[in-house]
Amino acid sequence: MQLYNKLSAKERAELIDKTGKNRLTLSFYQYAKIGNPQIFRDHLFITWNALDVLGRIYVAHEGINGQLSLPADRFNEFKAHLDTISFLKDIRLNVAVEQDNKSFLKLKIKVRNKIVADGLNDDTFDVTNKGIHVGAEQFNNLIEDKKTVLVDMRNHYESEIGHFKNAVTPDVDTFRESLDLIEDDLKNHKEDKNLVMYCTGGIRCEKASAYFKHKGFKNVYQLEGGIIEYTRQVKEKNLENKFLGQNFVFDDRRAERISDDVIANCHQCGTPFDVHTNCANAACHLLFIQCDSCKEAMENCCSTECMEINRLPYEKQKELRKGQGNSNDIFKKGRSEALKFK
């Protein structure tokens, strides 16, 4: 029985082109108590692989977090399967603002300790005791209140290319870092301020809202469905869009444009630009913002050192990478001394 991918990304991309079917990119999450995540994971893989689902899904004792794509004509089958699972019945599915048939090229369902890494070891913390969910219209009204503090619960490289007007955007690399930082900044306003949070699809805010309630904050709110659902409601209800720029997403699209505003800059020359790329040097693979001119001049590399390495024969590059570990462990996204404008 197949419980893993058998096709490479290249083979899958060719197959997608050959079938000629439009695919739908969507995401969802749910905090729930899962007794045996491994068995649940295997069940999902068998069922979803048969539906031609591709994506990145995390399963843990605390719930499920999924970003995926599937043939549009099989959506009803997929939804029907979700409805057979008690804690996923009638779950909200965040449909991507911008569609791309190749947003995902493999089905990866992984068992993790937690669906959102938080570094917390507090048995008294109840993740289900969450804050108040608000839709786009109420969110727009709430963030205009002078008693409101609006906080972006995403990491620095996400908020850099797009965020809500007047939002606090913590300069952090991980979700865990932002929890203590925000609590310390607002420790004197646990009762007199509205703490309003948002993220991409809502999963980080769900946990953060429960955490800050656990820490004594009285007026805690989160944007229902995150930026993705907010954008849908703004269009559907003809509301004012208060989001500037692009929404960073964790698939091959990298971002969805929400407004025409370009609020970021090329990390190499400083010109206004907001499209991420990965350094062409496989040993680096740094995620950073690079304009078209710098991409051409630097050969899609983040530094002259990486450019020189990338020009070497493949076998020589491979030899140099030996013993260096995974590049994700070496470099933090969007941070490097070689990037003059970061």
Boundaries of every domain in the chain: 9-111, 132-237, 264-342
9-111 carries CATH number 3.30.565.10 = no
- Tell me the pLDDT tens digit for each residue of 273-286: 999 999 999 888 89
pTM: 0.85
196 vs 187: CA distance, rounded Å: 15
Task: Take residue 218 and report the two structure tokens written for it.
Answer: 């009285």
Q: How far, in whole angstroms, is CA 279 from its chain's centroid?
A: 20
Pairing of strands 255-257, 243-248: antiparallel
* 308, pLDDT greater than 70: yes
DSSP 20: -
Based on the residue annotation, tell me whether 291 is a catalytic residue of this protein.
Answer: no
* 311, pLDDT greater than 60: yes
Helix spans in the chain (H): 9-19, 37-50, 75-82, 136-142, 156-159, 175-185, 203-214, 226-237, 292-297, 304-310, 314-321, 327-330
How many C-beta atoms surround the C-beta of residue 330 within 10 A?
12
* Closest to 193 measured CA to CA, from 212, 165, 171: 212
pLDDT bucket at 322, cuts 50 / 70 / 90: confident
- Tell me the pLDDT tens digit for each residue of 89-103: 999 999 998 899 999
* Closest to 92 measured CA to CA, from 232, 247, 250: 232
Task: Take residue 277 and report the two structure tokens written for it.
Answer: 């790329």
- Tell me the pLDDT tens digit for each residue of 228-272: 999 999 999 999 999 999 999 988 899 999 999 999 999 999 999
* Contacts for 134 with CB less than 8 Å, ≥ 6 apart: 142, 196, 221, 222, 223, 224
* 160, pLDDT greater than 70: yes
* Residue-level pLDDT at 279: 95
Domain 132-237 top-level CATH class: alpha beta
* Residue-level pLDDT at 329: 52
